[in-house]
């Protein structure tokens, strides 16, 4: 039997014989669940004054994403440093071959938003997918869908998927917007009740928070989560014991909705959500003391340098960033016991795919900025 010293075990656990290694493997080459395709913008359409429907068409030889309703992709265009994450707006079963639809809301000061100011039909774009774990469950419980802003996209795709699956369950879709001019898909969603499974109810409920009091609006007003609590939970239309909640939109809306449901007795396992983050959100931090070396975060990273495998982090500069990041060399450096997975906040696009993928909850934007490392734990 060969001595253990004749082999070096890199992070992925595959041994390399020292006598047979001619050159170091490329540390950026790894099997990934994220596929990258070249595409073009097929069409752009204004849904509201600041929200577009953008349809992207991949090349004929594109790799299939095999995504499911609720997941998201990143879009990269020439001239912008980083890609941007957007939820798929339709069920894959509703799309034409190699086409993907997105509802994209312009954010003041956003680079991608500025790019949308011109008609980009026909321009090249790079799409990477699939990302995220948000999807419809297989229970028969009532579906409580709550979306805000461009969070409409992911929830719309899940509702479309439910139609295709002919699910036998009630669905209440609450959409929070500011005013009537911010509403879209109202007619399309309202008509879903006609194709929903017989004997079960589908209801679309738009809720406006800033609509002028003297307007002609006859629908619900206030915050969407408050309306759901007062008119549906407290009146017994929906039971906390037999519902599943699907949230997508701004983090404050999701936090408020989760609180309402938790107080009503809905378990955390019955809540599914996809928070919309942007460049203003904090970058996640990896606590390597909780890392179980599964590599799930590396398999879903959408950009090359966002998560770096290092053998050691150097000194911290005045700006709080590391001056010397020593990358792991897969052929010669053992990262098995002294590994440090480090998220470079300059490369991070705040898609939070790594946060969702980590089964050990070792990645969070709430962790201390200075990442914990196994090396530090052993040496202390």
Residue spans of the chain under pLDDT 70: 1-31, 275-278, 311-339, 370-380
In this prediction the pTM is 0.79
pLDDT digits (tens, 9 = 90+) for 198-243: 999 999 999 999 999 999 999 999 999 999 999 999 999 999 999 9
What is the DSSP pairing of strand 271-275 with strand 243-249?
parallel
pLDDT number for residue 116: 93
Going along the chain from its start, the domains and CATH numbers come out as 1-30+281-380 (3.30.70.20), 38-131 (2.40.30.10), 142-275 (3.40.50.80)
pLDDT number for residue 1: 34
Of 165, 168, 174, 166, nearest in space to 141 by CA: 168
In the chain the beta strands, taken as DSSP E runs, fall at 7-8, 16-17, 35-48, 51-58, 72-76, 84-87, 99-105, 124-131, 142-148, 171-177, 202-208, 220-221, 243-249, 271-275, 285-286, 307-313, 325-327, 340-343, 363-364
Tokens of 205: 């409920």
pLDDT number for residue 367: 85
């Amino acid at each position: 039997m060969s001595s253990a010293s004749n082999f070096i075990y890199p992070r992925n656990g595959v041994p390399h014989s020292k006598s047979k290694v001619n050159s170091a493997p490329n540390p950026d080459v790894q099997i990934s669940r994220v596929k990258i395709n070249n595409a073009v913008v097929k069409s752009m359409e204004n849904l509201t004054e600041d929200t577009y429907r953008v349809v992207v068409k991949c090349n004929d030889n594109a790799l299939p994403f095999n995504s499911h309703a609720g997941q998201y992709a990143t879009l990269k265009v020439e001239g912008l440093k980083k890609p941007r994450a957007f939820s798929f707006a339709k069920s894959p079963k509703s799309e034409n071959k190699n086409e993907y639809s997105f509802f994209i809301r312009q954010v003041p000061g956003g680079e991608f938003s500025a790019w949308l100011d011109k008609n980009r039909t026909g321009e090249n774009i790079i799409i990477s997918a699939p990302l995220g774990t948000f999807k419809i469950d297989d229970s028969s419980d009532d579906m409580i869908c709550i979306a805000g802003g461009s969070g409409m996209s992911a929830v719309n795709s899940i509702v479309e998927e439910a139609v295709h699956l002919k699910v036998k369950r009630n669905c209440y879709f609450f959409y929070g917007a500011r005013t009537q001019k911010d509403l879209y898909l109202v007619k399309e969603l309202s008509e879903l009740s006609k194709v929903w499974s017989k004997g079960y109810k589908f209801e679309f409920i738009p809720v406006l928070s800033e609509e002028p009091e003297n307007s002609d609006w006859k629908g619900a007003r206030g915050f969407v989560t408050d309306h759901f609590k007062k008119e549906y939970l407290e009146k017994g239309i929906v039971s906390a014991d037999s519902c599943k909640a699907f949230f997508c939109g701004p983090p404050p809306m999701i936090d408020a909705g989760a609180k309402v449901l938790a107080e009503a007795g809905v378990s955390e396992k019955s809540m599914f959500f996809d928070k919309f983050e942007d460049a203003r959100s904090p970058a996640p931090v990896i606590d390597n003391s909780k890392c179980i070396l599964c590599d799930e975060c590396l398999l879903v990273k959408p950009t090359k340098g966002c998560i770096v495998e290092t053998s050691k982090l150097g000194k911290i500069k005045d700006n709080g960033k590391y001056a010397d990041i020593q990358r792991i060399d897969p052929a010669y450096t053992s990262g098995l016991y002294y590994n440090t997975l480090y998220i470079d906040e300059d490369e991070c696009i705040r898609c939070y795919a790594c946060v969702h993928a980590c089964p050990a909850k070792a990645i969070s934007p709430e962790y201390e900025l200075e990442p914990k490392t196994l090396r530090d734990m052993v040496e202390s």
